[in-house]
Amino acid sequence: MKLAVFFCVLCMFAVYSAQSASLYRWVDTDGKVHYTEQPPPPSAARKVEEKTIGTPPADDGQLPYASRLAAKNFPVTLYNSGCGEACTKAREHLTQRGVPFNEKDAGMPDVQAELKKLIGALEVPVLAVGTVTRLKGYEPGAWNAALDEAGYPKSAPFLRPKSKQPVKADAKGEQKPVTGGGEGKP
């Protein structure tokens, strides 16, 4: 019995480690190629390549196929800050429509430089859909048109909530799941 438990734990560890492993290929100063699981020492490596091995993490699976495909082909980024009503409505618009998006805080210096390069100005909110569409300011019609063109569904997908098992309190006040179809009868 102990051997079976040990084997199960060992298998779970092997599966977990295989999913998140990185492999480093690096060339040392003598031109010799090395493959290791640890990053090379900075002074010893001339050229370093990091490769992720194993399977990537599982997709959310909650989103419908159309949303996942659109997010893969045309990822959405919202450049936002605490600018008030426009920024709040911009975030709510994407959330209500069920669009997966990456939000970047335009108050950070690196994001400001990225935003200036992207649209030539420092203004928010800015919606980036894929690598081509950039919309300054919040205008629901234009945002919907850009999201429609990218293939995002027009409304948030209905995600069925996980069903909860009904509970009933016993004489001591402890909650226990109701089994069978009766009113707590054995």
- The answer to whether residues 47 and 101 belong to one domain is no
Flag whether 155 is in a domain. Answer: no
Q: Indicate whether 97 and 139 sit together in one domain.
A: yes
- Cβ within 8 Å of residue 139, ≥6 positions away: none
Contacts (Cβ under 8 Å, ≥6 apart) of 133 = 74, 127, 146, 149, 150
Q: Residue 169 — pLDDT band, cuts 50, 70, 90?
A: low
Same domain for 94 and 70: yes
The pLDDT tens digits for 4-48 are: 665 655 555 554 444 445 677 888 888 888 888 778 877 777 777
Query: Are 81 and 111 contained in the same domain?
Result: yes
The predicted structure's pLDDT at residue 15: 47
**116 sits in which H/E element:** helix 109-119
Report d(CA 135, CA 138) in Å as an integer.
Answer: 8
Does residue 164 form part of some domain? Answer: no
Q: Classify residue 114: in a domain, yes or no.
A: yes
pLDDT one-digit tens code per residue, 93-112: 998 888 999 999 988 899 99
pTM: 0.53
Read off the pLDDT of residues 116-127 as tens digits, 9 standing for 90 and up.
999 999 999 999
Cα-to-chain-centroid distance, residue 137? 25
Q: What is the total count of domains within the chain?
A: 2
pLDDT at 36: 82
Instruction: Please give the residue range of the domain that contains residue 82.
Output: 65-150
Q: Which two tokens stand for residue 27?
A: 């060339």
Q: Which residues are 50's β-sheet partners?
A: 24
Choice between 32 and 162, residue whose per-residue pLDDT is larger = 32
Residues 72 and 135 both lie in one domain: yes
